[in-house]
Amino acid sequence: MSTSAYEKVAKCVEAIRAKTSFVPDVALVLGSGLGNYAENIKIEAEVSYSDIPGFPVSTVPGHAGKFIFGYVGDVKVVCMKGRIHFYEGYDIKDVVLPHRVMKMLGAKILFLTNASGGLGEGFGAGDLMLITDHVSMFAPNPLIGENIDEFGPRFPDMSNVYKKDLQDVIREVAKENGIDLKEGVYAQLTGPSFESPAEIRLLGKLGVSAVGMSTVNEAIAANHMGMRICGVSCISNLAAGLSDSPLSHEEVQEAADKAAPLFTKLVTESIKRFTI
Ligand code: HPA
C-alpha cells in the first residue's frame, strides 16, 4: 500500500504534466562538473522544483534546482539540475522522489553522475570512473518502510544494477575519444563530513574505489522501479589520507569543473548510442 508516498509522487507528476507533455526516455542526474550541461540540450521545457507541490527544494538560496526536458541528439531526456542530498536533512524518501517522478514521466534509463573521492589503484584527481557496482550499507536504504507495490517488490534483487550493455556503450565511447576511463565500486556515505583516513582504509579493504555522498540511494530506488541504470563518477580528489592536502568543497568543485569537457563528451555521446 503506502498510498501516501505513492500519491506524493503521482501529484508531482501531475503538476509537471500540467506544464509539459514531453515524455523522456533517458533521465540524467547532473553531478558536480556537469552544472552547465544544459548547453548540450535542445531544451523543450523547464520545470523548477519550487513549482512542484510537495517536491523537496534545497534550503540553500540559489540552489533550488529544476528539471530540464529536451533532446540530446535525437534522444529525449529529462535532466535533474540540482539533486537532493540526505545530508541536507531530507527524509531519504524525498531524496529519491525525483527519480521516481522521472520514471513515472516515462524515463526508462537512468544515467547517474557525481563527484567522488578516489581510492582505487592508480586513480588521480580529474579521472572519470565507470560505476560497476555499489556499496550501500553506510547510508540509509530508501526502501525502508512500507513497500510501495506500485513501484516494485518488497525485496528487490540488486545483483545487476548497473547494466552491462550501458556500461559497454560508455567504455566504447571513452575508448574512441581517448578518455582513460577508470572502473570501480562506488560507496555512498551520509556526509556531510568527509571521511577519516581510517574510514578510507576500511573502505579500501572492502573493495571500494570511490566514495561520495549521493547516487547509491537513487540507484536503489530506481532499480526497485525497474529502471536501467548506469553511472559515471568524476574523481575530484584523492580520498582522505591519500594526499597531503586537507579536503575541501572548493577543491572538489574546481577539479570537477576541470573534468567537465571530457565528462560532458562521455555523457553526451553515450546517451546518443543507448538502445532505449
Ligand atoms: N568524499 C566524499 N564525497 C566526496 C568526496 C570525498 O572525498 N569528493 C567528492 N565528494
Q: What CATH number is associated with residue 81?
A: 3.40.50.1580
| pTM across the whole model | 0.96
Atom in ligand 1 nearest the alpha carbon of residue 189: 2
DSSP 3-state of 88: helix
Task: Report whether 229 contacts 161 (CB < 8 A).
Answer: yes
Q: What is the pLDDT of residue 62?
A: 55
**Residue 136 appears among annotated catalytic residues:** no
Q: Which protein residues touch ligand 1 with a CB less than 6 Å away?
A: 115-117, 194-195, 211-213, 236-237, 239, 247, 252
Tell whether omega for the bond before 261 is within 30 degrees of 0, i.e. cis: no
Structure-derived torsion over alpha carbons of residues 81, 195, 189, 77, reported in degrees to the nearest 10: 20
How would you classify the pairing of strands 228-238 and 109-118? Answer: parallel
Q: Which of 36, 146, 172, 249 is catalytic?
A: 249
Match 583516513 to its residue by C-alpha cell: 197
**Residue 249 appears among annotated catalytic residues:** yes
At position 48, the amino acid (one-letter code) is S
Burial class (CB in 10 A: 0-12, 13-18, 19+), 235: buried
Instruction: For residues 131 and 73, give the distance between their C-alpha atoms in angstroms, rounded to a whole number.
Output: 24
Task: Report whether 170 contacts 268 (CB < 8 A).
Answer: no
Task: Report whether 27 contacts 107 (CB < 8 A).
Answer: yes
Instruction: For residues 4 and 92, give the distance between their C-alpha atoms in angstroms, rounded to a whole number.
Output: 15
Q: Which of 46, 85, 183, 243 is catalytic?
A: 85
Helix, strand, coil shares of the chain, percent, nearest 5, are 35, 25, 40
Distance 190 CA to ligand 1 centre (A): 11
Task: Report whether 46 contacts 70 (CB < 8 A).
Answer: no
Per-residue HEC secondary structure of 227-255 comes to CEEEEEEEEEEECCCCCCCCCCHHHHHHH
pLDDT (tens place) for every residue of the chain, 276 residues total: 445 889 999 999 999 999 999 999 999 999 988 989 999 999 999 999 999 999 998 766 556 699 999 999 999 999 999 999 999 999 999 999 999 999 999 999 999 999 999 999 999 999 999 999 999 999 999 999 999 999 999 999 999 999 999 999 999 999 999 999 999 999 999 999 999 999 999 999 999 999 999 999 999 999 999 999 999 999 999 999 999 888 998 888 888 989 999 999 999 999 999 999
DSSP 3-state of 144: coil
Task: Specify the residue with its C-alpha closest to ligand 1, atom 3.
Answer: 212
Match 578516489 to its residue by C-alpha cell: 118
Distance 106 CA to ligand 1 centre (A): 31
Task: Specify the residue with its C-alpha closest to ligand 1, atom 9.
Answer: 116
Task: Report whether 69 contacts 20 (CB < 8 A).
Answer: yes
**Residue 213 appears among annotated catalytic residues:** yes
What radius of gyration do the chain's Cα atoms show? Answer: 18
Q: What is the pLDDT of residue 1?
A: 42
Atom in ligand 1 nearest the alpha carbon of residue 256: 9
Q: What is the pLDDT of residue 64?
A: 66
Distance 271 CA to ligand 1 centre (A): 26
Task: Specify the residue with its C-alpha closest to ligand 1, atom 10.
Answer: 116
Cell of 118: 578516489
Instruction: Select from 119, 186, 236 the residue to mutate for testing ligand 1; criterion: most ligand atoms less than 8 Å from CB.
Output: 236
Backbone angles phi, psi at 40, to 5 degrees: -95, 5
How many structural domains is the chain composed of?
A: 1
Atom in ligand 1 nearest the alpha carbon of residue 238: 7
Domain that holds residue 124: 3-273
Task: Specify the residue with its C-alpha closest to ligand 1, atom 7.
Answer: 117
Instruction: For residues 30 and 112, give the distance between their C-alpha atoms in angstroms, rounded to a whole number.
Output: 7
Q: Which of 46, 88, 150, 183 is catalytic?
A: 88
